[in-house]
A and B are shown apart, each in its own frame.
Chain A
Amino acid sequence: MSVVDELVENLVERNVIKLNGALTISLVDGGLSVRGRLLSTLRDQKKGKDLLNVEIPVDAQLKVSDVVLPLPQIR
């Protein structure tokens, strides 16, 4: 195992990511809209200290085409 591998392993094992935030999903013309904000915090569990805060604004649109439902046959 290389030094880099060990470093990554140690970093990964002692850190966790915490997520907070709120998203709103709404229907818009022709699809879905997801808006909101997520806050991500990288925390060192060994030291009990936050290392990195990341704010992630979310503004995404999902296009959904028309759905065609054929009527069922009466048998």
Chain B
Amino acid sequence: MSDVKVFIDTVGQDVTSVAVPKIDAIAAAINDKALNEYGPRVSAFANELAKDVIKDLSVNVRDFVTSLIQDLCQRYRPEILGEIHARIAQGGVDLTGHGVKLDVKRQDTGAVVASLDIPIALRINVSDIAVTVRDSTIKLDVVK
């Protein structure tokens, strides 16, 4: 078995050494030809085709999208619920959402179709405010 394996390996190496350069050469030739001659033609064709497709279908797509948006707007309405609590904390203001959610409801029945909870927890840092009083004069006046 060992002899057969050596034999096959030897033949394989020989074939590889001869065939690979030839395959490389023909691949390079095809590549050059395709790149320089067929490539621009295919590119030009594809370009024209894309233009035609866009030209023909853009009106349809636009009408479809417009109609879809109109239908959706007529069918559903969004509703935001909840409260934001603002609390003064050390060095800033904490904003926390309580029960904040976005409901999408049916326009006709008012039934909730989908609900998205929106967690809100923000902190707004506020630096110290310095107030300087310089030579402010308080004049007193007698009421006569």
Kindly identify which residue among B84, B100, B128, B134 contacts A25, using a CB–CB cutoff of 8 Å.
B128
By beta carbon, the residue of chain B nearest A64 is B88
Question: How long is the Cα–Cα vector from A64 to B93 in the complex, in angstroms?
Answer: 11
**Which of B128, B130, B138, B141 is in CB contact (< 8 Å) with A19?**
B138
Q: How many of B's residues come within 8 Å of A, CB to CB?
A: 34
* Residue total for A at the interface (Cβ-Cβ under 8 A): 34
Indicate if the CB atoms of B136 and A19 lie closer than 8 Å: yes
Residues in A whose Cβ lies below 8 Å from that of B138: 16-19
Which A residues lie within 8 Å of B131 (CB)?
22-25, 36
Question: Is the Cβ of B139 less than 8 Å from the Cβ of A16?
Answer: yes
B133 touches A67 (CB 8 A): no
**CB < 8 Å neighbour of A8 from B100, B135, B142:** B142
**A30 adjacent to chain B (CB < 8 Å):** yes
A3 contacts chain B at the CB level, 8 A cutoff: no
Known: A25-B128, A26-B128, A69-B86. A16 touches B142 (CB 8 A): no
Are B77 and A24 neighbours in the complex by a CB distance under 8 Å?
no
Quick one: closest A residue to B130, CB to CB? A24
Q: Give 6 nearest A-B pairs by CB, closest first.
A: A17-B138, A67-B86, A26-B128, A19-B136, A12-B140, A25-B129
Chain A residues with CB under 8 Å of chain B are 8-9, 12-13, 15-32, 36, 38, 64, 66-74
